[in-house]
Amino acid sequence: MSMTTPLTRRKTPPSNRASAVAEPHRQSLLGELLRDVEDYLEPNEVGVIQRACAFGAQVHAGQQRHSGGPYIDHPLAVAAILANMRLDSHSVTAAILHDVIEDTPVVLDELASEFGHDIAQLVDGVSKIGRIEFDSREHAEAENFRKMLLAMSKDIRVILIKLADRLHNMRTLDSLSHDRRKRISQQTLDIYAPIANRLGMHVWTRELEDLSFRQLYPKRYNAIRKELDKRRGNHTKIIESTRRKISTELKAVGIESTVVGREKNIYSVYRKMQARRVPMSKDAGHLCNSCHCWHSRPVLSRPWGYP
């Protein structure tokens, strides 16, 4: 492991033209974020988030991402990811401020004075994780590193903010050099996607895996994606038909259920192909209640002949 910052920030001031182009995009990000939080947070909490947006824009002024866009766009996007998950106001606020300690002159005490101890501690926790970069691909070391990250974060919200940060970084990775994209993608696949999966953040897990796989093995990614695209229409019909049949059968025997069907993500298909040396295969759904699972088994056996 080494103590480095995964994604550097350029501190050259943007040109007037770049600022003019970026401003509508930033206002769009801000508007989307505020609309999301207004749906479920109290007005005073939304006010703190607005204040954090203004504070972040001020202290990150002049900083750019490698894409050339204003750096503040990144924390706003991270906050929007968390708001979409309806996380609490402190998590969303800390997401907006998550790089302030690391990349600006602002210190922890100042942040605590401005936004409170809880938000400052969340930002500090994310900053500590951000200083560590995992270099090894050895499975045992990767597992130890995942355990260390979880142990370091006494508050699970720190991990959620870091995962959202990594997710947005992966979505916007193309402006980096080839070597850095590969390194960050491997780290994401080894460390962050498994943590997301362990926490039950399966939507994030699948996206992190697919984004990493696309960077690491673009030809394999495109081949599988093309095959899935060809089959998607038929698979969607089969999944929906099967879902309805299962729901009907379970309801007939008095089991209330929510049956959800989905196609495997691209990386999951690739892993199954590698493990079984077979082409595409369908995914099986799952039921939550263990007692109902056992009672559901004979119901499911009838139409599909499961043993």
Element holding 132 (H helix, E strand): strand 132-133
Name the residue type at position 120. A
CA distance 205 to 198: 9
Could you say which of 73, 99, 103, 210 is catalytic? 103
What distances in angstroms separate CA 283 from CA 13, 207, 238, 264, one per listed residue? 50, 17, 11, 6
Angle at 225 between CA 235 and CA 170, to 5 degrees: 120
Contact 199, 221 (CB under 8 A): no
The structure tokens listed for 139 are 């499975």
CA distance 212 to 251: 40
CA distance 148 to 126: 14
What distances in angstroms separate CA 273 from CA 85, 137, 230, 266, one per listed residue? 32, 21, 18, 11
Could you say which of 45, 88, 102, 133 is catalytic? 102
Residue 102 appears among annotated catalytic residues: yes
**H helix count then E strand count, the chain:** 15, 2
Q: How many CB atoms lie within 10 A of CB 112?
A: 16
Beta bridge mates, 64: 10, 70
CA distance 51 to 120: 14
Intra-chain end-to-end CA distance of the chain, in Å: 48
CA distance 50 to 54: 6
Return the active site residues.
102-103
